[in-house]
Amino acid sequence: MIVFEDVTKIYDPDVVGLQDFTCHIGKGEFVFLVGASGSGKSTLIKLVLKELQPDSGRILVAGRNLGTLRHRKVPLLRRNIGCVFQDFKLLPNKTVYDNVAYALEVVGEPRRSIRRKVPEILSLVGLSDKTANYPHEISGGEQQRVSVARAFVNHPPLLLADEPTGNIDPETAVGIMQLLVRINRTGTTVVVATHDRDMVNRMRRRVLQLDNGRLVRDERRGGYDQVTEVEEQEALT
């Protein structure tokens, strides 16, 4: 689904975004991106969305080479990628319903099917009773669920989440993660950049750890921290 080959992105003047980054994320995977702030997680997500251009290297998303993708085609790429952000990025002057509907309007979905799909997805995320509310009228957790609903309403093959639980309390965060897992079960590839140590440790999914733009760990069923042999021995004794 996503292939990075020797990708380097340096911001002006010489802040490292990603350096010689290579990885392969397969279809239907659930992947955590972990690492300190500034380690390159957001850069990676922005590169996948073609919000940024890499300085060198090759990126393939769903078989398409982003380097040769025309500007005009970028919106089409983004329609196949659902996005969830730490700050929700909801349109502040649209209701919950309209926020989700907007993602469908954008792809030219007929009005009738919009009227069917939006309530469906909102009930899936448990917000059937808030459809007429504006984002500022609901809680952070609820806003994030709207954001997830918007990301998934098109049933994209890929869903990216940048610190989806960063701004909400731990219990609500669990709900959001469960939602992402359910989405993953429908076959959608899910990539979650996160700081949430407990969450990563509990879920034991594939973990990619970044440090200063480099991939330092790629573990099949990893935890948040790299467990060194010494630590393991200490744990045993």
* Residue choice 15, 36, 107, 181 for contact with other proteins (CB under 8 A): 107
User: CB under 8 A: which stretch of 2-10, 36-44, 72-80, 215-223 binds other proteins?
Assistant: 72-80
Angle at 65 between CA 154 and CA 56, to 5 degrees: 125
Check binding of 75 to other proteins (CB under 8 A).
yes
Query: Measured between alpha carbons, how far is 67 from 109 in angstroms, rounded to an integer?
Result: 29
| Least CB distance to other proteins at residue 80 (A) | 8
Please report the DSSP string for 169-219 in residue order: -HHHHHHHHHHHHHHHHTT-EEEEE---HHHHHHH--EEEEEETTEEEEEE
Nearest distance, CB of residue 19 and other proteins, angstroms: 24
User: Minimum distance between the CB of residue 181 and other proteins, rounded to whole angstroms?
Assistant: 23
The correct pick among 3, 23, 62, 77 for binding other proteins (CB under 8 A) is: 77
Question: Among 2, 25, 83, 179, which residue sits at the site for other proteins (rule: CB under 8 A)?
Answer: 83
Asked if 103 touches other proteins (CB under 8 A), the answer is: yes
Confirm if 7 and 18 have CB atoms less than 8 A apart.
yes
* 216 binds other proteins, rule: CB under 8 A: no
CA dihedral for 38, 83, 76, 6, sign (positive or negative) = positive
Q: Does 193 bind other proteins (CB under 8 A)?
A: no
Omega before 75 cis (within 30°)?
no
Report whether 211 contacts 222 (CB < 8 A): no
Nearest approach in angstroms of CB 52 to other proteins is: 11
Interface residues with other proteins (CB under 8 A) are 49-50, 71-72, 74-81, 83, 89-93, 102-103, 105-108, 150
